[in-house]
Amino acid sequence: MQRNAVLEMVAQTDPGKVRSGNEDAVWTSIACGSVILADGMGGYNAGEVASHMATSVMGAQLEKAFAKRAGITTKSAALSLTNAAIKVGIAEANRAIFSLSKTQEQYAGMGTTIVAGVFQRSFLTVAHVGDSRLYRWRGKQLQQMTTDHSWLEEQIALGSLTREQAHLSRNKNLVTRAVGVDAQVSPEINVHETADGDVYLFCSDGLNDMLSDSKIALILSKCSENLDLCCSQLIQSSIDQGGRDNVSVILVRVIATAASAAPANDRFFLNGWRRFSTWFKSCRFVKE
Amino acid sequence: MSKLILSIDGALLKEIPLTKERITIGRKPHNDIQIDNLAISGEHAVIITVQGDSFLEDLNSTNGTFVNGQPIKKHFLQSGEVITLGKYSLKYINDVVPSMKNDDFERTMIFRPGTAAIASMAAMSTPTPMQSQVRFTDADTRLDGYPGNGQLAGSAAAVKVESIPASASIGPLGFSDQKMPSLPLGAIQILSGNNAGKELELTKSLTTLGKPKIQVAVIARRPQGYFITHVEGDTFPIINGISVGAQAQPLKDYDVIELAGIKMTFFLKH
């Protein structure tokens, strides 16, 4: 487990009970407040290659962006820098995987899903491609924050299927977007406000195919005080339920959003300015 | 593979395997399933099959399309359902069971229009030749803009091999809240403190014990048995007088657990 003043993170990946290899890859950096999870696809070990390429290429990009962010003070500038870094990271991972799959026969057709999160101050920027997910655990409620890029979700959106009927479908395995299968990829990027105590769960479909949302919520409600245990409990439960796929979990707890943990002098300055401007206005030097 | 069983007044006429992504039903001869009866519209209905999921759609027929007696416009077919058109009925059977032998079942794949039939085609051995009464006319089938069935759309067919030999216990929801018949129910009886004598059955997959912020442990109910693990607090649970540390510890019948100053015993209900 990694921990600093604002975040606590833990990651775990397991091949499961059936598969011999592990095509999932996880990457975390508490220093950059960033996590990446990828679920590869492709014959032999190509899926493994694709997912690891994705996490390392994108991870390097996020680290670079973090270094640049140090000098930035405004929220919008920091968020747009992160947004750009995520886009570049995914585009570069896409290019690297795509060109390898085009030039090396054994990697033909490989690709990977991805879900990545960057925590900064009281914001989480999340990007995803495919069916790897992000959930939020807040106030004893589990909420899915990403919508799978899958055939099933499209059918639900089109009204061909209800969410209940979707459980009866035999097509839980069709993703409509993936990194590295085309010359271009379009990630979905969203920004969410975080709150102290939030726990974010990034996972590959090996988790949510094996465990219902209520089962995931039960584990979080019982073990979220101990993130390490919570993570291994999630993995273990999905293996106990069959473990038919590789399963990966990254948990991130927001201990203190940077807003509430903001340097004291920051706030002092802000308060000082407010007082000064009120005084200024009260003196009627400026018209309101 | 899924199929339709065509019958009239209970008399079986024909079995039609759903080998194509799009199968049309109607009175006119160009339909995949031609039913030459005046109660059937020229183009009456269509069944679209995507990798084992079949959707029935009524094509604004005069007399309507019914499933289990209810009129439908578009319907997600479930195995065993009966489609009625006029006096004819078509029973939909989809008995594809995830097989232990087939490694490729449920592998994750990239889906794009036109590639849908790939996996189902791969699973099928040879196209089944059609017999007389139900006429399959291959010539008209590509009016929908989909490429032919056997056509692999090149790079689009990225395949994530996720062999998932499902065990029989996987329920219809995909979540097998596996029954554990071999595992007797465990319970905890409190031995000391105010609640001494009280009994707690461990029916849930996870049960927490202790006092939040002071000392909490969780008991997990797994196929292999019950396990206790430390969750929070400075001290670890004590089992039969020995501190167990942070690791999960299997529980045996009549183990004595000490937690947050309370003694309790674990036992199995036989």
Condensed to tens digits (0 to 9), the pLDDT of residues B229-265 reads: 999 998 999 999 999 888 899 999 999 999 988 999 9
Chain A, window 186-215: residues with a beta carbon less than 8 angstroms from a chain B beta carbon:
205, 209-212, 215
Which of B94, B176, B218 comes nearest A222 by C-beta?
Answer: B218
Res. A31 pLDDT band, cuts 50 70 90: very high
Distance CA A48, CA A248 (A): 13
B216 beta partners: B210, B232
Cβ–Cβ below 8 Å for A171 and B78:
no
Assign A260 to helix, strand or coil: coil
pLDDT for position A279: 54
Q: How many CB atoms lie within 10 A of CB A156?
A: 18
How many distinct helices (H) and strands (E) make up chain B? 1, 23
User: Å from A148 to nearest chain B CA?
Assistant: 13
- B/e letters for A108-142, b = 16+ CB within 10 Å, e = fewer, are bbbbbbbbbbbbbbbbbbbbbbbbbbbbbbeeeeb
Number of domains observed in the structure of chain A: 1
Smallest Cα–Cα separation from A28: which of A50, A6, A48, A55? A55
DSSP B248: -
pLDDT for position B117: 37
Cβ–Cβ below 8 Å for A236 and B222:
yes
pLDDT for position B96: 65
Smallest Cα–Cα separation from A137: which of A3, A251, A36? A251
CATH number assigned to the domain comprising residue A224: 3.60.40.10
Tokens of A11: 């990651």
Cβ–Cβ below 8 Å for A160 and B158:
no
- pLDDT tens, B74-128? 899 988 999 999 999 999 998 765 443 344 445 677 776 554 433 333 333 333 3
Cβ–Cβ below 8 Å for A165 and B76:
yes
Percent of chain B's residues with pLDDT above 90: 44
Q: Is the pLDDT assigned to residue A56 strictly greater than 90?
A: yes
Cβ–Cβ below 8 Å for A244 and B110:
no
Percent of chain A's residues with pLDDT above 90: 68
pTM for this model (two decimals):
0.74
Q: Residue A145: give the domain boundaries.
A: 2-286
Distance CA B109, CA B116 (A): 10
Burial of A273 (0-12, 13-18, 19+ CB in 10 A): exposed
Distance CA B85, CA B82 (A): 10
Smallest Cα–Cα separation from A181: which of B160, B144, B102, B175? B160
CB B232, CB B211: distance < 8 Å:
no
- pLDDT tens, A180-198? 999 999 999 999 999 999 9
Distance CA A34, CA A117 (A): 6
Q: How many CB atoms lie within 10 A of CB B93?
A: 17
User: Å from B132 to nearest chain A CA?
Assistant: 31
Which of A43, A182, A242 comes nearest B176 by C-beta?
Answer: A242
Would you say the C-alpha torsion B65, B70, B74, B77 has a positive or negative sign? Answer: negative
Cβ–Cβ below 8 Å for B107 and A111:
no
Tokens of B249: 């510890």
Q: Is the pLDDT assigned to residue A68 strictly greater than 60?
A: yes
Could you give the ipTM of this predicted complex? 0.74
Res. B137 pLDDT band, cuts 50 70 90: very low
Q: Is B164 on the interface with A (CB under 8 A)?
A: yes
Calculate the CA B190 to chain-centre distance.
41
CB A246, CB A16: distance < 8 Å:
yes
Q: Is the pLDDT assigned to residue A92 strictly greater than 70?
A: yes
Q: How many CB atoms lie within 10 A of CB B34?
A: 19
Would you say the C-alpha torsion B189, A227, A4, A271 has a positive or negative sign? Answer: negative
Tokens of A213: 């949302």
Q: Is the pLDDT assigned to residue B226 strictly greater than 80?
A: yes
Distance CA B145, CA B172 (A): 33
Q: Is B12 on the interface with A (CB under 8 A)?
A: no
Q: Is the pLDDT assigned to residue B148 strictly greater than 50?
A: no
Cβ–Cβ below 8 Å for B160 and A39:
yes
- pLDDT tens, B18-66? 888 899 999 999 999 999 999 999 999 999 988 788 999 999 999 999 9
Percent of chain B's residues with pLDDT above 70: 69
- B/e letters for A46-73, b = 16+ CB within 10 Å, e = fewer, are bbbbbbbbbbbbbbebbeebbeebeeee
Q: Is the pLDDT assigned to residue B181 strictly greater than 60?
A: no
pLDDT for position A34: 96
- A277, containing H or E segment: helix A264-282
pLDDT for position A193: 96
pLDDT for position A258: 65
